Structure 1
Amino acid sequence: MYFTYNKMKKLIVSIAIGGAVLSCNDDFLDQVPDDRLTFEETFSSRNTTEEYLAAIYRRLPNEYAQRYTTTQNSGPWTGASDEGEYVWSFPLSNYMNIGDWNPTTGNISTLWSNFYRGIRECSTFIENIENCRDCTEANIKQYTGEVHVLRGFFYYALLRSWGPVILLGDASTNADSDVSMFKRNTIDEVVNYIVSELDTGAEALEGINFKGGNAGRMSRPFAMAIKEKALLFAASPIFNGNTDYAELTDEEGNFLIPQSPDINKWKTAADAAKAFIDEFVPGTFSLYKEYNDDGSVNGYLSCRNVMLRDWNPEMIYERPRGTFYLNYDCTPYHAGADSRVKGAGGLGLTQEFVDAFFTENGRPIDDPESGYQASGFTDFQTPYDDQSRTIFAAWANREPRFYVNVTFNNSLWLNRDHGDVITTTWYSGNSGKGSGGGNDYTPTGYIARKNIAPDGSTSRAIPMIRLAEIYLDYAEALNEYEPGNPDILKYVNLIRERAGIPLYGSSGLPQPAGQDAMREAIHRERRVELALESVRYFDLIRWKQAENALHGPVHSMDINATDEADFYRVITFETRVFTKKHYLFPVPQGEIDANPALQQNTGW
């Protein structure tokens, strides 16, 4: 079993820190209950040292728990993007979507505190690991390297939500620290520190196995991947010449977010992505593929199972285990069916998300040559079915990734072990609002499908980052810095080839002409390839496109129509609110109260 999973289960070290991370009143590990190890005992042996380390690993987010935002450190990313909507009222994303959140929102403080607590724990570990009596020099080097990577990741998680955050430094802090000394650092300082931490960890972990029994531990590849991600954020419009934050300055008047764009930041990000590719592809990582009998790539199975096969060649890092709330969210209600194929289907997909997928000829649906039919019905056999069924024509002849991601009305359910179940999502269908499931129904007429295993299994690792994302990051950064570089088209086409759709520049599908057209093509490809992987929300933030994509009317099927024929009308189900202040999360009010000199993010 994976290291972190076993060690987490056996955790006996107290590392909880009460209250806000910079303003808590509890003594940090000073008062230890009788049934807990003392601070000296914690780092005295390899066993208890590893248990402390495993507890730090628990700070890594489980993004399959987003329904209960902050549970296992999950965020609101799917529901808060233009991909989905939860039927239940309580997820943080539903409050964000209507603009009903602020510096006192509890989930905001919890996320902030979680990552800062992780950072403090990392610093404590690094300061005390030398006291481990039965740890070898190799153990100490590896564990310290892992913790540097973890500390870098926690800062990266803070960066992408709050922007210029507070760097606590390398030394551990405690409850007696003077909070007035904590100031927000500039974006460049934060990114440089993240890169330094990840470089330090990557160097220490070079040559250390990260597979088999070590799967789930921090690794050199993961460090290099997160480094590239941090640099991509730094190069993007949100943090690279964003005059919307001209008033966000330190006491000396220095801008916390650069006011003039620096194109060389795109080069730095592209170089970091290419460094990863050069070192690890193809020897360590490759795009996951499954093949048809004739040797051609099966786009559907490749794109579905890359998310289901633990530690497959594409996965750079997966969280070893976590509560699998997503299975209930995405399994339809299926009134009257066997309990083993019943869920809620409460994570609905927006019409905007559904419309983003290409048709089978690789063109967007608004392309006159796409062959898309916006109305009517047709008999069509999906790639997961063994027969044709009558479905809405708009859902026929779409690319394989559409069928990986979208459960729609009159589609065959994945799990066939208990008989074939046809999911019907209109009002009186077995998974519709009138099915008798109470609050368990799809709020949009569509249900998220990706990441759900055909046998219903939830005993598997939870993907965090894979090679396809590195490829698309590289293409994006390179297009901004050196448009026309042949690598841009190469790496976008590698993604499309695995998806089973025509390549740009092939017969009948011209190559995007110019930097702007290529940028649009890359953005489209990211949207469908990385769908439902907690990427889209941050892409819209990075690109400063969220105030358009996440503001205004959002559409769905008419789930309240009692006549199935009327279900297929596209309606507005919600008018969302996203203004300029929402690009960055507010600093929790408790932190501002404890340290009034701490700047709040603009607009909050």
Structure 2
Amino acid sequence: MKTRKYILLGAVIVTLGLGVTSCTDYLDVQRYFKEQQTEDHIFEDKDYTLQWLSYCYSALQGDNLEIGHSEVCPTNFSDDMVFNEGGNGERYRKFKLGEYGYGYAYSDHYISSWAKSYEGIRQSSILINNVDKNLDLTPAEITDVKGQARFVRAYLYWLLMRKYGPVPIMPEEGADYTESYDNLSFPRNTYDECAEYIAKEMLQAANELVEKRDNVNIARATKGAALAVRAKAYLFAASPLANGNKEMADFMDKTGRVLISQTYDETKWAKAAAAARDVIELAESRNLYRLYTASFRDQTTDEAYPNTITPPEHSVYSHQNFPNGWQDIDPFESYRSVFNGELYAAENPELIFTRGKNASSNSEVKDLGVTDLAKHQLPNTAGGWNVHGVTMKQCDAYAMADGKPFDRATCRKEFTSDANKDDHPYDHLRNGVFFEYANREPRFYASVAFSGSVWYCLSARENVDKYKQIFYYRGHDDGRVNGNERWIPTGIGVMKFIHPEDCNNNEGKVIDKIDTAIRYADILLMYAEALNELTGTYQIASWDGSTTYTIRRDVVEMRRGVKPVRMRAGVPDYDEEEVYNDPVSFRKHLKHERQIEFFAENQRFWDLRRWKDAPVDEAEQIYGCNTLMNEAHALQFYTPVRVPYLQTAFSRKQYFWPITYDELKRNKNMTQAPGWEDYD
């Protein structure tokens, strides 16, 4: 059924950062939509139809980015990372205290995704319901266009569900926008209904989508991407926040229907495990995805691309090639290259779904994606904003090179020097670095910009500082400055996403970064996590019905998920008796693994909520280095201190984002999330 006879796109059209075959010139509103056009005219034309599809994808930009500037992606900052822009940390503090509902300052940064998502859902539904009219597209092309639009629609619901919890599922034929506002009032569906709808739609999309895209269309949906989002939706529905959570018994619609499951159901974990396994089996059988690894390197003298540091000797892993060991790979470069722009999207076998270069030159979107994130992490002396910091909690979470936990109490209180070079063989540290940063696991050096790190700035013009060691002591160019927000309040910077070429001054450039929205490491760890929660055995058909999985808590299968991630990182796999055979211990280690592996990838914020760990982890005091200390008091700089104006708290309302006053006023059937003002 048609929702309207005429359609007018009354919005600025933007596209994904990577070009698409159907949209090389993008959608020119002035050229294509100067006047209202009938649905038949639009969808019978191939160019118009494909332009419409590009418009659907544009809903995944801006306020729906998943890794980017704190304005559009504040959830990238949890208990692991802080930002200082916006009134010397004032915006960060308000966000962490939950002051982003109606009437709070900065609220406009956190409310736009609702309208943007539902507009994208509406446009996707229109396309799905009309693309069959097109006579220029082949049947296979029509099926693929439907699958892409279906993916975008379900992905937008996935983003909404993470932020707002249970949300209204709109009629698939589209709402009749000629009706009165009262007749367009839709109540929330339950959390389980939302998860099942996303899973159902992604399953259908997987049947409609192709397995691979060419380089030009790499930011478009594929079969694997649809199955991956299906697995994530099931995992969230199985997690404690949505599975038997009696704390949310008062989260209801206006008929009194409880929207969060009050009864724990273990089968949800089994479904999540089977869905993750679908992606793993597809990846292995079709050679679609794998963890990216860089080869062992021992023939370079360039500090920016150093020779491989072999991890500490291990009787098993040191003498086997990846994925059974790390003998043939460079763990540091393997991890670093996934994020810093070294790889084009098409070169990275780990990417399951990406927005490509998730930014646009369009003034409505601005450059707020991963590349912009990197600019905010660069030091002042490299032309950056120098405002993103790592919490001491996150810094300490990284293991030692041998995989053992970092222990601050036993850490040597001295600095690297010529005299102690042999005491830190598992790093490339220069002199003058505090020993707590020595001999750490490779992911630490790819992620953390501690005081004394080297910033290479290779793209800068000649005769300027390159290979520069940056310290965050007060009085240094990148240290604390009173009355200025361009300094790192924890005294620990962020190195993740930074390429050796990156420099934002001296005629340098910041290498384009690729959005890592869903990568294969996530699916592997999700699979292990879901299996760990099972006590029974379940027979579940694969996504295409070609086989039936036996799903149970199987250590061999759990290791299948965890071991490759640990091997790529150059750290030993978990002990079978102490970790794998103990569900409580494994859960603890798995959560820690996710904290490290997905740092700064907008995962931690949501993980802490779905696990219901946020009341503890998100409410802890934030500690960092003592940034008041200058180099003359260098030892005191590393004394942990509470960062007073970056403190945080957690209340129940912060599990979900609030519905805006305008939406509650318009939609008489909408209810507010618990803890937020309802405005009735």
Q: TM-score w.r.t. structure 1 length?
A: 0.88
- Which segment is superposed worse, 55-64 or 402-411? 55-64
Map of 1:505 onto structure 2: 575
Which amino acid letter does the alignment assign opposite residue 282 of structure 2? E
CA deviations on 1:149-204 (whole Å, 9 max, x unpaired) are: 11110000011111110000201225434444411111111111111110111101
Which amino acid letter does the alignment assign opposite residue 170 of structure 2? L
1:192 lines up with 2:262 in the alignment: no
1:570 lines up with 2:640 in the alignment: yes
Distance in 2 between residues matched to 1:514 and 1:384, nearest whole Å: 31
Instruction: Specify the SS of the correspondent of 1:65.
Output: coil
The offset of 1:402, in angstroms, is 0.5
2:386 aligned to which of 324, 345, 348: 345
Distance in 2 between residues matched to 1:440 and 1:516, nearest whole Å: 42
Residue correspondence of structure 1 range 508-547 to structure 2 within 5 A:
511-547=579-615
CA deviations on 1:502-524 (whole Å, 9 max, x unpaired) are: 22239xx9545510000001011
Residue correspondence of structure 1 range 326-475 to structure 2 within 5 A:
326-334=373-381, 341-366=382-407, 373=411, 375-379=413-417, 388-418=430-460, 419-434=466-481, 438-456=484-502, 457-475=510-528
Map of 1:316 onto structure 2: 352
Which amino acid letter does the alignment assign opposite residue 362 of structure 1? G
Residues 427, 439 of structure 2: 8 Å contact kept: no
Residues 3, 217 of structure 1: 8 Å contact kept: no
1:109 lines up with 2:145 in the alignment: no
1:300 lines up with 2:332 in the alignment: yes
1:95 lines up with 2:131 in the alignment: no
Q: 1:110 to 1:280 in 2, by over 3 A?
A: same
Which amino acid letter does the alignment assign opposite residue 298 of structure 1? D
Q: 1:409 to 1:564 in 2, by over 3 A?
A: farther
The offset of 1:66, in angstroms, is 2.1
Residue correspondence of structure 1 range 62-211 to structure 2 within 5 A:
62-69=65-72, 75-79=73-77, 81-89=78-86, 93-104=92-103, 105-180=107-182, 181-205=185-209, 207-211=210-214
Map of 2:6 onto structure 1: none
Instruction: Specify the SS of the correspondent of 1:577.
Output: coil
Which amino acid letter does the alignment assign opposite residue 28 of structure 2? I
2:224 aligned to which of 217, 221, 227: 221
- Which segment is superposed worse, 484-493 or 147-156? 484-493
Which amino acid letter does the alignment assign opposite residue 235 of structure 1? A
Residues 426, 438 of structure 2: 8 Å contact kept: no
Residues 22, 50 of structure 2: 8 Å contact kept: no
Residues 383, 400 of structure 1: 8 Å contact kept: no
Q: 1:117 to 1:306 in 2, by over 3 A?
A: same
Residues 385, 412 of structure 1: 8 Å contact kept: no
Q: 1:366 to 1:262 in 2, by over 3 A?
A: farther
Residues 4, 320 of structure 1: 8 Å contact kept: no
Alignment root-mean-square deviation, CA: 2.7
Instruction: Specify the SS of the correspondent of 1:391.
Output: coil
CA deviations on 1:480-520 (whole Å, 9 max, x unpaired) are: 114453221332121111101122239xx954551000000
Distance in 1 between residues matched to 2:111 and 2:605, nearest whole Å: 19
The offset of 1:527, in angstroms, is 0.6
Q: 1:387 to 1:367 in 2, by over 3 A?
A: closer
The offset of 1:68, in angstroms, is 2.8
The offset of 1:433, in angstroms, is 1.8
Q: 1:212 to 1:33 in 2, by over 3 A?
A: closer
Q: 1:437 to 1:305 in 2, by over 3 A?
A: farther
Residues 348, 442 of structure 1: 8 Å contact kept: yes
The offset of 1:140, in angstroms, is 1.1
The offset of 1:310, in angstroms, is 2.2
Q: TM-score w.r.t. structure 2 length?
A: 0.78
Map of 1:584 onto structure 2: 656
The offset of 1:384, in angstroms, is 11
Q: 1:292 to 1:107 in 2, by over 3 A?
A: same
Residues 449, 493 of structure 2: 8 Å contact kept: yes
Residues 248, 601 of structure 1: 8 Å contact kept: yes
Unaligned runs of 5+ in 1: 15-31, 70-74, 335-340
Map of 1:550 onto structure 2: 618
Residues 331, 569 of structure 2: 8 Å contact kept: yes
Residues 67, 76 of structure 2: 8 Å contact kept: no
Distance in 1 between residues matched to 2:198 and 2:76, nearest whole Å: 25
The offset of 1:59, in angstroms, is 1.6
The offset of 1:602, in angstroms, is 0.8
1:10 lines up with 2:26 in the alignment: yes
The offset of 1:386, in angstroms, is 5.9
Map of 1:243 onto structure 2: 246
- Which segment is superposed worse, 181-190 or 377-386? 377-386
Q: 1:458 to 1:278 in 2, by over 3 A?
A: same
Distance in 1 between residues matched to 2:589 and 2:412, nearest whole Å: 22
The offset of 1:52, in angstroms, is 1.4
The offset of 1:5, in angstroms, is 8.8
Q: 1:329 to 1:526 in 2, by over 3 A?
A: same
Distance in 2 between residues matched to 1:495 and 1:373, nearest whole Å: 27
Residues 384, 414 of structure 1: 8 Å contact kept: no
